[in-house]
Amino acid sequence: MKPRNPEYRRIKRSAALKEVLDMSPWLKRLGVMDGDKQVAIFSRWEKIVGGPVARNTQPLKFSKGVLQVAASTPAWLQNLDMMKPQLLANLQRELGKGVVKEIRFRAAQFDMGKLKQ
């Protein structure tokens, strides 16, 4: 039989995942707890922003209150920048106040037309 490693510790009891996550505020700071909000944003995107905007944008990532969105063209990037206050208001109305604190737009690194077919 092998001798035990002195650094090895035995787990005394198991805990529910929710209990572990509730005990870990640093996971919130890392954005681990944002998965359900990201799913809500992605699934309701067209309802939140409207048809024309949804056809030319794609939410990419949501973490720590920051939503990253890809735009199909440079012209849409400029339009979205001007629409930012209205988009934030729509997101707050749909998801709750303070969920999305900031939106960052960037040019799409993929063909938006193929994605939206």
All structural domains of the chain = 33-110 (3.30.300.180)
pLDDT digits (tens, 9 = 90+) for 36-54: 788 889 999 999 999 999 9
pLDDT of residue 36: 79
Of 4-13, 52-61, 82-91, the poorest mean pLDDT is in 4-13
Tell me which DSSP letter residue 49 carries.
H
Return d(Cα 6, Cα 1) in angstroms, integer. 15
**How far, in Å, are 83, 92, 104, 108 from residue 78 at the CA level?**
9, 22, 12, 13
